[in-house]
Amino acid sequence: MKKIILVVCCAALLIGCKNEKKDKTSRPVMAMAKSVGKINEVSVVIDPRLWKGNIGDTIRKYLAAEVPGLPQEEPLFSLRQMPEKTFTGFATKNRTFLKVHKGSTKGFQVLENKYANPQIGFVVTGETDEEIASVLRKNAAKIITRFKNIELAEKQSRIKKSLEKIPQLEEKMGITMDIPSAYRIAIEEEDFFWVRKDIEHGSMNIMIYEVPLQTIQKDSNTIGSIIKMRDSVGSKKIPTDSGNFITEEAYAPYLYQITIDDRFTYETKGTWEIKDRFMAGPFVNYAIEDKKNNRYVVVEGFVFAPSTYKRDNMFELEAIIETLSFK
């Protein structure tokens, strides 16, 4: 019996030594490359002939649709077209991509972190132009949502690298937000903050305040209640040489219902103006319901940058505001 036990132990020891030797000589696992690319830029991998035809038009209709609430037309995403043969090496590391291939069975595939991390890609196939276009139409909303989510997360990740510490927000308003160090406090009061950043052709701004729950009516005139609220606060709190900081009167803002920090939120996008001064720009207003304290916490981002594109400025403000958390 002792001899049998001794043989088994020796065999186990030999196997263990072999495995240890194998582990030492095995090749290390390579870490996945970090994804790259400008915020809101999508690589579209498609044959140039398809890009110029109906399929390209369908892609542009959805992915390059006009961003709501901006004073001039700007696309939802900047599209960078490339043929499939060039989609190799570094080109595959872009954070977002859409691949279109004609000649295969009709299909739609989602690729997460296929070539880099984080990354989201989609592969659309079909035997005819119409088959491919129909797949794109059917899945457009899903594609846009996934692209927007990964870009928002990427922007917020970049923001976190250098934050401005504003403990007063938690002390006075009961909230925290990831605000980049490039921003500074312009006005601080007991229940109102104005934070801003100077940019080359103007400024980027965030207002933070609170109003009673009954300020915004949940009925057919909700948008009217929000406009009245922001015009009242903006006229009093934002200093101008003349005229008031109000909602532009010619066009009704866009109204959405979302959640921030798991709380019901009205998101309003539109254009602000200073009456009789020919000054205007985009804004996004979030009214976040705080039933426990019988209030809405209102956070608004707005940009003043005449004669320049503002999509990326507004995207930054939205990314900042959507980090808001109640304490």
For residues 261-278, give the mean pLDDT: 92
**Which of 7-21, 155-169, 228-242 is the least confident region?**
7-21
What digits encode the pLDDT tens for the residues 29-66? 567 899 999 999 999 999 999 999 999 999 999 999 99
Q: If you ran DSSP here, which 8-state letter would residue 201 be given?
A: T
**Top CATH class, 41-159:** alpha beta
What digits encode the pLDDT tens for the residues 275-284? 777 889 999 9
β-strand 96-102 against 41-45: which pairing, if any?
parallel
CATH superfamily of 168-326: Mog1/PsbP, alpha/beta/alpha sandwich (3.40.1000.10)
What is d(CA 259, CA 321) in angstroms, rounded to the nearest whole number?
A: 12
Structural contact between residues 102 and 127, judged by C-beta atoms closer than 8 angstroms: yes
Which band of pLDDT confidence, cut at 50, 70 and 90, is reported for residue 201? Answer: confident
pLDDT at 247 over 90: yes
Please report, rounded to a whole number, the percentage of residues in the chain having pLDDT higher than 70: 91
pLDDT at 15 over 50: no
DSSP states of 142-183 as a string?
Answer: HHHHHHHHHHHHHHHHHHTTSB---THIIIIISEE---BTT-
Give the pLDDT of residue 256. Answer: 96
Please report, rounded to a whole number, the percentage of residues in the chain having pLDDT higher than 90: 82
Beta strand extents in the chain (DSSP E only): 41-45, 78-82, 96-102, 107-112, 120-126, 175-176, 184-188, 192-199, 202-212, 245-247, 254-260, 263-274, 279-290, 295-304, 325-326
Which band of pLDDT confidence, cut at 50, 70 and 90, is reported for residue 250? Answer: confident
Give the pLDDT of residue 100. Answer: 98
Phi and psi, residue 3, nearest 5°: -65, -40
Encoded tokens for 14: 């030999």
pLDDT at 305 over 50: yes
Q: Where are the domains of the chain?
A: 41-159, 168-326
Least Cα distance to 290 among 188, 175, 168 occurs for 175
